[in-house]
Structure formats: structure tokens, C-alpha cells
Chains A and B, each alone.
Chain A
Amino acid sequence: MHYSWHWKVLLETEPGGSGTYLHYLIVGLGWTLATALAAWVIALTLGAFVGTVRTTNLRWAVRLGNFYVEIFRNVPLIVQMFLWFFVVPELLPKALGDFVKQMPPPWGSYLPAVMCLGIFTSVRVAEQVRAGINSLPRGQRFAGTAMGLTEAQTYRHVILPQAFRIILPPLTSEFMNVIKNSSVALTIGLLELTGRARAMQEFSFRVFEAFTAATVIYLLTNLIVVLLMRGIEKKVRVPGLIAAGGAPMAGH
């Protein structure tokens, strides 16, 4: 069995006429990053909040937080994607639902994809934040109280600044997960990198060139993120505090 490679296909014009296939894929990477970054903002905000709340003494808030985490952790990402795309607009008030459904492409897919990925990832961020806070010695909290700080002040000035620095490495891998998971948005019609590689394969019949190109682009993106984050980690590291590596976590 023999497959004849034809790499020049990357420089041929794609049928949409926007430029070469390579350009077409790079624009896809742009959408991948735009989706991942917007989702990451939601994930960090919600995740930090929910994760912190789950370490407090407010029993009802802890329970509510646990409920939130269990819901979004136990439903597959693609099903959540469908819920945001097909089901949520039907449940909204009619005017708003119609507005969402009539948004021009790609926004009609982009918005649900960002909401879905943001909330899906916030659960994982929340778990990391909680683990980071719990890994701090209890004395830190007592010391805050002893200095006359309120619970909120202790969190703001003592607990959270340390916890966030400890969990930076796992957060890096969560960020790379958002980039990878954004490919699921192709199922609701968002033409991000994987979706465009798939479309390129359909237009040009060059299966392996398209997927190889996408794979290489993903690998390069990962490399850049890892190098960037390594720089940041070095900068904010607390001297004498070793990152909480510990037990391996299952995940993607």
C-alpha cells in the first residue's frame, strides 16, 4: 500500500477563495485561540470563585459548589456543547432565544462554544483551586485570624496569593486542555483548526496532508504555551514553596 504525498496542496487556493489552504488553517488556529482564550477568562473567574467557596465554612455554599462541580463534570463535553447550542436558546425568553439563534455565523456557534468550554473548564479550575488552598498549612489561616484579619481579608491577602502560585503548573495544563477541547466546537459548526483540517480534507482529498498540518500547528502552539508559562512560573514562584505535585490526576 502506498500513499503519494502532495505537500504543495498547502499552497493551493482553497475553494472559498480566501487564500491558500495554509492560510485557511492558520485562520482556524486564530478561531481556536479566540475560543480558548475567551473560555479561559470565564473558567478562571468562575473556577476561582467556586473553588474558593468550597473551602469556606459556609455549609450551604460548599454544597452548592459541589453540586455545580458534579453536574458539569459528569456530562460529556460534546453533550454539553449540544445543550448550549440546541437546548439553551429554546429555554431562554423567546426574543432572546430568537436573537441567539439568528446570530450570523460564526458568532452563532462561537458564543455557545465559549460558554460551554468556559463552564466545563471552570469545574476543573475549581478543583485545582480547592486543592491548592487545602495544600496550604492551616497555620496560615490561623495566623491571619491572629493578626485580626477577617475571613475575607485572610483569603485576599494570605491564602489566595499563595494558592494561585502553587497551582500555576496544573493551570497551565488546564489551559492546554481548553485549546484541545475547543476542537469539539466543530460539532456545532465552528470552523476552528480541526474543523478546517476536516474541511480541507473534504475539498482537496488530501487527507494526511491536512491532518499532518493541523497536528504540527497544535504541537507548535503547545510548545509556545509551555515556554510562556514556564517563564511566568519562574517569575511568580514563592521561594521555598514547592509546587504541590503529589498524586496523579486522571483527565484529558
Chain B
Amino acid sequence: MDSGFDFDVIERSLGYLFREGMTFTITLTLIAMTGGIIFGTLLAMMRLSSIKPVSWLAGAYVNLMRSIPLVLVIFWFFFLVPYIGAWVIGSNQPIKVGAFYSAAITFTMFEAAYYCEIMRAGIQSIARGQVWSGYALGLNYWQTMGHIVLPQAFRNMVPVLLTQTIILFQDTSLVYVISATDFLGAASKVANRDYRLVEMYSFVAVVYFIVSYSLSLVVKRLQNRIAIIR
């Protein structure tokens, strides 16, 4: 390793890093966020259900996901998804699933457990009387949830949901373990090819910091605005 910080290697690979790597990272984050919030909200409704087996099942899923490391979950789904896919389409060979789809499924399923806990707190923050008045107006469970409870729960929880999304954005870098080319993966490939590990990893850290810190400032401002309205 020769001395001196080589900025040139960063400049040369900028296009690759952002066009390939960052695009992967951001797409994965957005998909997992959308899927995770939808699935997580359903899980939260299941956990709060008065039907025991339903709430037990959701609780078991959430606790399982929250008890094992994300890296292990990534490995699980990486090997499991081809089998599930084969089972779904009735093939007797495990189907081939790319790293991106595998990662998208993994993060959606994993983050859902965390979004679930946030949405559960959000639903519980709505006064019970609102649910009863919904029923009194003749609405059924889904109408009460969809028109009265969830919109308010969601709004109360927007800052926490977004903070969780910043964590998700950082966590997507763990797809490195299945050799996907996300932002870190792209940087790591350049780093190893040109033997410029110090430069590339420092650059990656700086970029992640700038993005995450800016987003957290946005969330903080949003939090203050919501706090004033209520």
C-alpha cells in the first residue's frame, strides 16, 4: 500500500458507484419500505386481533424475526426463496432467483416485523372510543380501520416510520454477504480490483453519513411540524 490518498480512483468510479450501486440500494430501500409498511400494518392488525390464533401467529413471526440477526435472515431467504418459488410454480427443481429479488423479499419480510411494532404502537395510540364510534355508525372492522384508525395511526407514527426507513437504508448494505452489487458492493469491487480499500471505504462511509444525516434532519423538522399541528 503506497502512502497518499488517491482521490482519482473515486473520481474514476463515481459513475459505476452511483449508477449501479446507489440505484440498487435506493430501489431496494423503497421496495422494502413500501412492502414492509403494508405487511407490517397487516401484522400489527393481526397482533391486536381478538382471535387468539391470529394474534399468536403474528406475534410468533415478529418475535422470531426480531430475535435473529439480519445476516442470518439474509442467508435464510437467499437459500429458501428458490425452494418456495419452485413450490409455488410446481417445479421440482429450485428455481433461480437473482440477488436483487432475494434481497427485496428478505428486507420486506424482515422490516415488516419492525414496522409492525411501530404500527401497533400507532394503532394503540388511538382512543378506543374512536373504534366504538365507528362501529356505532355501522361501519365494519375494515371500514373502521381503513377510514378512522389507520390514517390517524399512520400520521402519528410517520416520524418513527421514517427513522426506521433510514435504518433500513443503512441495513441494505448487508446484502454484501450475498455478493449483491449495492453501493457498498460496488465500492468493494472497485476497492479490491484497484487495491484502494482505504479510499473506497472512507468514501462509502462519507456518502452514507451525508445521506442518513440529511434524512434524519428532515425527519426532525417533520416531527416538529406534526407536533405543532396536534
Contacts and interface: CB of A to CB of B under 8 A. Distances in A.
A184 B71 contact: yes
Interface size range on B against A: 35 or more
Interface in A179-198: 180-184, 186-187, 194, 197-198
A222 B167 CA distance: 22
Contact of B184 (A79, A219, A248): A79
A60 interface: no
A183 B87 contact: no
Contact of A186 (B160, B177, B216): B177
A82 interface: yes
A74 B167 contact: no
A3 B83 contact: yes
B118 A250 contact: yes
A79 B173 contact: yes
B114 interface: yes
A79 B201 contact: yes
A215 interface: yes
Nearest to A221: B67
Contact of B197 (A70, A86, A183, A201): A86
Nearest to B174: A78
Given A83-B201, A219-B67, A211 B79 contact: yes
Contacts of A91: 198
Interface size range on A against B: 35 or more
A122 interface: no
Given A2-B92, A248-B117, A186 B71 contact: yes
B213 A181 contact: no
A219 B68 contact: yes
A251 B161 CA distance: 10
Given A1-B86, A180-B68, A183-B71, A74 B213 contact: yes
Interface string B84-113: 001100111110000000000000000000
Determine chain A's interface SS by DSSP, over half rule. Answer: helix
A197 B72 contact: yes
B205 interface: yes
A74 B218 CA distance: 14
Contacts of A218: 67-69, 72
Which residue, A182, A183, A214, A222, has most C-beta atoms of chain B within 10 A? Answer: A183
A138 B94 CA distance: 62
B50 interface: no
Nearest to B204: A79
Contacts of A184: 69, 71, 174
A86 B192 CA distance: 11
B70 interface: yes
Nearest to B175: A78
Which residue, B83, B205, B216, has most C-beta atoms of chain A within 10 A? Answer: B205
A165 to B, nearest CB: 24
Interface string B59-86: 0000010011111100110011001001
A198 B164 CA distance: 28
Interface in A58-95: 70-71, 73-80, 82-83, 86-87, 90-91
A70 B75 CA distance: 30
B21 to A, nearest CB: 13
Given A1-B83, A79-B173, A211 B205 contact: no
Nearest to B122: A248
Contact of A1 (B92, B163, B201): B92
| A-B pairs with lowest CB-CB distance, top 4 | A183-B69, A74-B212, A250-B164, A250-B163
